[in-house]
Amino acid sequence: MARSLSVSDYGAFMEKFTLQADPSSQKLPLGGLTFAVKDIFDVEGKVTGFGNPDWARTHSVATSTAPAVLSVLKAGAVCVGKTVMDEMAYSINGENIHYGTPTNPCAADRVPGGSSSGSAVAVGAMLADFSLGTDTGGSVRVPASYCGILGFRPSHGVVSTSGVIPMAQSFDTVGWFARDPFILKQVGKVLLQLQDDNPTTLSQLIIAEDCFNLLNIPSHRLTDVLISSVEKLYGSQQIQYTSLGNFIEAKVPSLMHFMDDNTKKQADNIPSLAALSSAMRLLQRYEFKNNHGEWVRSVNPHLGPGISERVWDALRTTDESIDVCCLLKSELRAALGDLLGDFGILAIPTVPGPPPKLQTEPTTLETFRAKAFSLLSVAGVSGFCQVSVPLGMHDDLPIAVSLVAKHGCDGFLLSFVETLYEVLKKQSEHS
């Protein structure tokens, strides 16, 4: 259960309030649980601020509440407030110059991750039992990893994004955070409308060895814990290894359109995944421009460093190569679907390592960001579901592994995490 909110709320909240559907909700699936909501979701009677005061100033109060929020309210959970987010959802750092940067509860001198920064911090700091965020390019997975909690990005299109300010519809998802795999799954059952709980035996766990080589910490710190935990529960015969970059390069022909000197020159990156990331960010920029270009040009909002450059860069995007991006999405989904099947799981790092220090120069972060988006683009472009699972601390900083399953296999992935989590936790404590 969450502890009481206090004045030292880690800067997670934009606005605190209490919202519940039914006071006699203890017997409902989420009865007795509290949750927080990213300030990208409409809540009736509140302005949806989108992380920027100029946006809040130029928009009216919401006349209805987003279906995702209503679903968890009707399931008995109590909303305790709206949380701080990165401006216009256009960062994975979590630093907001207008409203302050929520304090990472695992490492106060490090970024909390964005854009769902406040939602992750609210859960990590035990100010709420779970929280809702959105994940377009990594905005649930990254802060979950940085704050040492569980973060779930569902299969694209399976949870309603109605009443949620769009960032880029080809990638936008409603995700959620929890400290406990049971709560993570209970929230998932409500949002995904899962009827039955049918845990399924794992057919294969595929370790993407090349992806773990991108880490800036010893890769065995993640892989040893995961492999030993899966072996303990399922045996070693289910564990396989692959070079994900080589697989994608061979199976996704449209990727060649984005394989240029720039993707090949990125320091220590995987060329095919760098190309995948390039395609994802191009389509993201194009859709962001279509969604918000007119507002940005007419209002000329005050935007923080890094975000301002990205927003104006997006407004210069043309429709060149957009059709190829869409083809690439279908090819990748088909290829990874064949690789995993219905009950296979792909293991990759969530991000290339522990959270960077606050106010790190963008140029210093560039290699880290490039690797991060290479990893994040696998589920982003394919539309597959992904969960970031904490694996304790390394040098007093939180680290995590990600598990990816086929589109539509969200219930299976949530059940797998619930089954694996206690063993994983014990193994990570002894590593």
| Residue 286 CB-half CA count within 13 A | 17
The strand pairing partners of 345, in sequence order, are 205
Contact 112, 103 (CB under 8 A): yes
The yes-or-no answer on residue 131 being catalytic is no
Closest CA to 349 of 207, 202, 243, 180: 207
CA 388 to the chain's CA centroid: 8
Contact 431, 395 (CB under 8 A): no
The yes-or-no answer on residue 402 being catalytic is no
Contacts (Cβ under 8 Å, ≥6 apart) of 138: 92, 351, 372, 373, 376, 380
The yes-or-no answer on residue 27 being catalytic is no
Which one of 115, 119, 170, 278 is the catalytic residue? Answer: 115
Write out the H or E segment, with its range, that includes residue 80. strand 78-83
Cα dihedral 119, 392, 209, 337 in deg (nearest 10): -40
Closest CA to 78 of 139, 124, 17: 17
Contact 343, 202 (CB under 8 A): yes
SS3 200: coil
Tokens of 107: 């490492």
Which one of 139, 321, 374, 388 is the catalytic residue? Answer: 139
Which one of 25, 38, 117, 289 is the catalytic residue? Answer: 38
CA quadruple 2, 141, 291, 85: dihedral sign: positive
Question: How far are the Cα atoms of 209, 291, 409 from residue 194, in angstroms, in the given order?
Answer: 33, 31, 11
Active site positions, annotated: 38, 115, 139
